Amino acid sequence: MAENLDSLDVVSFAAGGFRFAVQACQVRGMLAEGAPGAIAAEALIGLAPPAGAPRRLLVVGGRGACVEVGEPVELEALPAASLFPLPPPVAARISLSGIKGVAVISSGIVLIVDLEAILPPV
């Protein structure tokens, strides 16, 4: 998907019972099977992982860290008009890591997360 000023290309996924999205440019690939050293998205964000839910691995960032996320995993373009940054008072008090904003779309609210920023150091 070509990114333009009217939309933001994201990879959306489930984590902890919520919908999240990460900018598509942060995702280098996707794997269907486990990888050594994979980190659950819920552990990075600060949520409890669901038991027994179908999972995928996103290869994130320049160092190729594997982040385990819940299905469905979808590449989509979020309309720019649906995107809202977190207000500073909310950003200062939110207990979830890496949340940069929200998108309000017809299917509900999607939390925008910066996975690269919350990956542990190598």
**How many other C-beta atoms lie within 10 A of the C-beta of residue 32?**
8
Sign of CA dihedral 54, 107, 89, 116: positive
Give the C-alpha separation, 120 to 54, whole Å: 24
- pLDDT at 94 exceeding the cut of 70: yes
Mean pLDDT, residues 88-104 taken together: 92
DSSP state string for 33-54? S--TT-EEHHHHHT-PPPTT--
Report domain extents, the chain. Answer: 7-118
Mean pLDDT, residues 92-116 taken together: 93
pTM of the entire predicted model: 0.89
- Residue 50: pLDDT band (50, 70, 90) is confident
pLDDT, one tens digit per residue, over 59-68 is 998 888 999 9
- Residue 1: pLDDT band (50, 70, 90) is very low
Both structure tokens of 7: 């939309």
